[in-house]
Amino acid sequence: MENTETPSHRVWVEHPHRHIHAVFERDIGAGHWVWQVSYYEGRQRQRIARYRLRLTERHDGQLQSDFFPATGDMPDSALSPPIIWTFSDGYFLGRYPEDSSDFYFLLKKDTILLLDNNLSLNHQAEPYRLLKCRFFRGWIQYPMEHLQKDSVYFYSGLLLHDQGGTARLRFPDGTLGEYTVELTQLIHSHRTPIMKLAIYDKPEEHLHWNSRAIAYAWADPQARRIGINIRKIASGWTLISNE
């Protein structure tokens, strides 16, 4: 929800939400189809796991992904069994080699689903849906009365992603403003997907996923531009196109 500190908006769940990010970076030194993969959660980017992923094409036309330690030479054996990917009806289905009947992963466009029977944390299955972040470039405008009376500071060239990315204004003297801007994707009222641009009157390190915003604007999740102006602070963001 857009404000889960409000009791009427809270929804009880058996397993509280965990906001997890996965970062894939090409590792050309280890091979042409090798990536460094890191998983982290929380505002402080607490690392959960890190490894290298290698993708190869099998003789039967299917793809195989193997997992190796994040550092050192690429060993002969992988950390865990590989995953075999089969393309069907517009998406990839992933399974383990010893189990030809049950699929554990579904990859469609920019979304990968870890199915219920795959991921076990604390001895219980928890499905996760990983979405590709869209990156936006933008600005924040805010009064800088402590430096010059009746003046505002325009801080541009900032970068955010739409899966909980945050930015905070930094003044020319190096001090930080009191507001933080966040861009995220949500489900409003249990049914309507939105992209939300929120303003918080606290620094990034004091935010958590359910912090209450002092103001926010929303748009369609696929919107290419979003902005907000509450007089004292204004901010605008535009999608960085890959075209």
Q: Which of 111, 131, 151 is the last residue of a domain?
A: 131
Q: Are residues 139 and 115 in the same domain?
A: no
215's CB contacts (< 8 A; 6+ apart) are: 198, 199, 228, 230
Label residue 109 by pLDDT band (50, 70, 90): confident
Strand order in the sheet with 192-200: 165-170, 176-188, 192-200, 215-219
Residue pair 180/199 in contact by the 8 Å Cβ criterion: yes
**Domain membership flag for residue 232:** yes
Q: What is the pLDDT of residue 117?
A: 53
Residue 98 has pLDDT above 90, yes or no: no
Label residue 120 by pLDDT band (50, 70, 90): very low
Q: Are residues 53 and 105 in the same domain?
A: yes
Q: Which of 104, 131, 158 is the last residue of a domain?
A: 131
* Mean pLDDT lowest among 35-39, 130-134, 195-199: 130-134
pTM reported for the whole predicted model: 0.70
Q: Are residues 45 and 121 in the same domain?
A: yes
5's CB contacts (< 8 A; 6+ apart) are: 210, 211, 212
Q: Are residues 142 and 78 in the same domain?
A: no
pLDDT digits 0-9 by tens, 15-51: 566 678 888 899 988 888 999 999 887 766 778 889 9
Total domains present in the chain: 2
**Domain membership flag for residue 57:** yes
Domain of residue 77 covers 7-131
Q: Are residues 63 and 119 in the same domain?
A: yes
Amino acid letter, 108 = K
**Domain membership flag for residue 1:** no
Q: Are residues 116 and 152 in the same domain?
A: no
31's CB contacts (< 8 A; 6+ apart) are: 54, 74
Segment 214-236 shows an average pLDDT of: 92
More confident residue, 209 or 22: 22
Q: Are residues 94 and 203 in the same domain?
A: no
Q: Are residues 124 and 140 in the same domain?
A: no
- Percent pLDDT > 90 in the chain is 24
Residue 125 has pLDDT above 50, yes or no: no
Q: Are residues 106 and 213 in the same domain?
A: no
DSSP secondary structure code for residue 6 in this structure: S
Mean pLDDT (the chain) is 80
